[in-house]
Amino acid sequence: MNLTISCLQINIAFGDPEKNFKQVSQEIEKTVITSKPDIIVLPELWTTGYDLTRLDEIADENGAVSMKFLSELAKKYSVNLVGGSIAKKVKENVTNTMFTFNREGHLIHEYSKAHLFQLMDEHLYLKGGNKTGLFTLENIPSAGMICYDIRFPEWLRAHTTKGAQVLYVVAEWPLARLYHWRSLLIARAIENQCYVVACNRAGADLKNAFAGHSMIIDPWGEIIAEGSEEPETITAEIDLNKVIEVRKQIPIFNDRRKELYD
Ligand SMILES: NC(=O)CCC(=O)C(=O)O
C-alpha cells in the first residue's frame, strides 16, 4: 500500500492563535491542491508557539476550537490530518496534545507529550501525558510522538513492538541541535524498521531559531524527503511493503532478547 504524506513546515506566529489558524487553513488548502496527499502533518504547538507564560489566556479550553477546526478541514478536503499539537487546557492543567482526524473528520486519536522538555520550561507550565501514541490510520498501525519524546528510544520501541509501522513526530526543534534532530530520527527509523514522518517548524521566537528540516525517512533509514530551514511543505510517497521487506531481511523483532533487558 502506498500513501502520499505532506508535512507543513510553517513559521508559527508567537502567541497568536488567530493568525496561526488562518495560516494553517491556507496551507492545507494549498497542499491539497498541489500535492493531493492522503495525510497532512502539522508541527508541535502550532496554535501558540512556545508562549508558555500566556497559556492561561491562549491555551485551547478542552481543545475544542482546534478539534473543530481540524475536523472541518479534514472533512472538507477528505484528507487525514495528524494535527501537530496544541496547548490543551483542562481545568487547571495544560497538556501538549496531538489530535489525529481521518478523512471523514472523525477524531481517531489523542496523544499528549509524555516527556516534558525542561530546557524550554515545559515542566513549569505543562503536564505530561501517560497514554499510548498508537493509532490506526488508513488501516496502517501508526503512532504519534512529540519532539523531545524521540530522545527516549524505549518509548518509541514500545509502540513498534505493538505494531506501529509509521511514527509521526511533530516538533519545535531548535536549530542549535539540528545534528541531534537528524541523527535521532534516522536512528529511530533504522532501529524500528519503520517509516518516520517528522514535521518541524521553521522561523524563530524570542529564545530560539528553529531548525526546519522536516524529514520523511524510510525503514532502511534513507531520507526520502527533507526540508530546508525555511518555511515550506515537503511531500513523499511511502510504500508500506518496504516495512515488511526490511523486517524480513533483518528480523530484529524476532531476534530481540527481552530477558536481557530491564
Ligand atoms: N520542543 C521540544 O521538545 C524540543 C526538544 C529539543 O530541542 C531537544 O533537544 O530534545
Sign of the torsion angle spanned by Cα atoms 131, 137, 143, 148: negative
> Which residue's CA is the closest to the ligand 1 atom numbered 10?
148
Are the C-beta atoms of residues 109 and 75 closer than 8 Å to each other? no
CA-nearest of 62, 119, 111 to 85 is: 111
| 3-class DSSP state of 85 | coil
**CA dist 244 → 182, 217, 219, 220 (Å):** 24, 15, 9, 11
99 Cα to the center of ligand 1, angstroms = 20
Is the model's pLDDT at 262 over the cut of 90?
A: no
> Which residue's CA is the closest to the ligand 1 atom numbered 1?
172
For residue range 59-108, list pLDDT tens digits in order: 999 999 999 999 999 999 999 999 999 999 999 999 999 999 999 999 99
For residue range 115-171, list pLDDT tens digits in order: 999 999 999 999 999 999 999 999 999 999 999 999 999 999 999 999 999 999 999
Phi-psi region at 199: left, alpha or beta (left = phi > 0; alpha = psi -120 to 50): beta
CA atoms within 13 A of residue 206's CA, in its CB half-sphere: 6
> How many domains in the chain?
1
Are the C-beta atoms of residues 49 and 88 closer than 8 Å to each other? no
pTM of the model: 0.98
Residues assigned a catalytic role: 44, 113, 147
Parent domain of 67: 2-260
* Joined grid coordinates for residue 190: 533504522
3-state DSSP helix/strand/coil % of the chain, to nearest 5: 35, 30, 35
174 Cα to the center of ligand 1, angstroms = 7
**CATH no. for residue 225?**
3.60.110.10
